[in-house]
Structure 1
Amino acid sequence: MLNGSQQVPCELHGDRIWISLPELTLEPVCVPSWLETLLAVDVDACALAGYDTGYLVVELERGTDLAAIPAPGIALGRHTQRALVLTCEEETPAGAADTHADVLCRYFAPQYGVPEDAATGSAMRLLSTYWRQRGLGPALRARQCSVEGGLLLSESRDGRCWVGGAVIGGRRHD
């Protein structure tokens, strides 16, 4: 697959397309003072990836209802130029149906014209590394809690992050 002038390795397995991305380094950081006020929730941990316009990964308490958190909107840009990736471990109540996800996530980058992304492969690359470092293993299933929703998959192998998911409504180009 071509992304601009860059070739991105990809594989097709049934209805799932997998793309291979280099793993990014995540640096744990203290919770920024503005973050809990902006989100109106308690934050458990944070990590940075990339430069000043990279990503801020924010871990919330296990089972947090991410869908109930209002999008930060342009207020985010007053505090950081990083895209904001919210995540927490999934908590399936006893007796409830398995949602087939290990973690939940949402992605915001309003300062770049993306108030909220529906399903984000680049964020999944970060979450794969983040949660592997937190002990969840080399394979991860993440449910994106945007309005549109989505289930993203990842596998770490050969020093790369493979991100996959079912493609619905897309066009296949040979």
Structure 2
Amino acid sequence: MKLSLYQVDAFTSTLFKGNPAAVVPLEKWIDDELMQKLAMENNLAETVFFVPSKTEGADYDIRWFTPELEINLCGHATLASAFVLYTQLGYNKPSVTFSSKSGLLTVEKNGTNYEMDFPSWKPERINDYPEGIAEILGVKEILGAYKYRDLMIEVATEEEVVNAKPDFTAMKKTGEMIILTAKGNTVDFVSRFFAPTAGIDEDPVTGSAHSQLIPFWSEKLDKKRMIAKQLSKRGGDIICEQKNTERLMMGGECVFYMKGEFEIAG
């Protein structure tokens, strides 16, 4: 069996920046175990697979795998999938809709940007969070802890986000995937995302985390349209818009890196 693979840097206009995703288009689903093994072999934050959909209102069904497990939502790999469809596979409709474990996700091509319609996951403030989380993250003071899917920690300044030095061994023991965020200096808000429990110590740019970040900062800043930056080593830029209580938009550019091929015996 031969399968094509495309590697794309998402949420960036510069090669070797943003978040790399491995994109594997399929004609029909292959075994879950094989998809997980391919994701482990690729050893990127996510390997994404999609097939033509039979779901009403969808063009493709989509699934995402980290090196260790399948996840229910991934922004950068969805962005990369749309980019591959438009630039490599001849897709030419105004938008593409994916059916996923988080519902329908529509991506619209707008010039060089790809804008995704995603669920809005407004996190709620919590008081019961892992003991010593400030020390685990390597930050001075926590302004607040919030949660929807992931634990989100707010700190006072962009500099604290940049300078945080997490203890990933201790973090993994908490069982949490953690978003660290603050108001930005030159953009509306900044963040970093840590997921050692999913086999990713720090993710370069995380769309699913912005499903929580966008409603949080939209309310806090009283703004609908915002610009965000993820402050990983590679870095990434995200266009954000809170559409309503249920949906939001996040978008950015992508850069093609390579095309390859798997050849799997049997």
Q: Which TM bucket (shorter chain)? A: 0.7 to 0.9
Q: Does 1:160 align with 2:160?
A: no
Q: Does 1:20 align with 2:117?
A: yes
Query: In the alignment, what sits opposite 1:111?
Result: 197
Match of 1:125 among 197, 211, 229: 211
Q: Conserved in 1, the CA contact under 8 Å of 2:241 and 2:250?
A: yes
Tell me the secondary structure at the aligned position of residue 71 of structure 1.
coil
**Matches of 1:59 and 1:31, distance apart in 2:** 15
Q: Does 1:85 align with 2:171?
A: no
Q: Conserved in 2, the CA contact under 8 Å of 1:125 and 1:154?
A: no
Q: What does the per-residue CA deviation read over 1:68-120, in whole Å, with 9 as the maximum and x for residues that have no partner? A: 212331311212x22100000112xxxxxxx4x21110000011111111111
**Matches of 2:133 and 2:243, distance apart in 1:** 33
Give the fraction of aligned pairs with identical amino acids, expressed as a percent. Answer: 23
Match of 1:36 among 102, 112, 134: 134
Q: Which amino acid aligns with 1:63?
A: E
**Matches of 2:192 and 2:128, distance apart in 1:** 18
Tell me the secondary structure at the aligned position of residue 202 of structure 2.
coil
Match of 1:9 among 95, 103, 106: 106
Structure 2 CA distance for partners of 1:2 and 1:162, relative to 1, 3 Å: farther
Tell me the secondary structure at the aligned position of residue 221 of structure 2.
coil
TM-score, normalising length: structure 2: 0.55
Q: Which amino acid aligns with 1:108?
A: F
> Which shows bigger deviation, 107-116 or 153-162?
153-162
CA RMSD for the aligned pairs? 2.0
Tell me the secondary structure at the aligned position of residue 146 of structure 1.
coil
Q: Which runs of 5+ in 1 are unaligned?
A: 92-98
How many residues align? The count is 158
Match of 2:220 among 131, 134, 137: 134
**Matches of 1:84 and 1:119, distance apart in 2:** 13
Query: In the alignment, what sits opposite 2:153?
Result: 58
**Structure ID, larger Rg:** 2
CA-CA distance at 1:65 after TM superposition: 3.8
Q: What does the per-residue CA deviation read over 1:129-165, in whole Å, with 9 as the maximum and x for residues that have no partner? A: 1112213411221111101001112111143111111
TM-score, normalising length: structure 1: 0.82
Structure 2 CA distance for partners of 1:147 and 1:73, relative to 1, 3 Å: same
Q: Conserved in 1, the CA contact under 8 Å of 2:190 and 2:229?
A: yes
**Matches of 2:166 and 2:134, distance apart in 1:** 13
More helix by share: 2
**Matches of 1:40 and 1:31, distance apart in 2:** 19
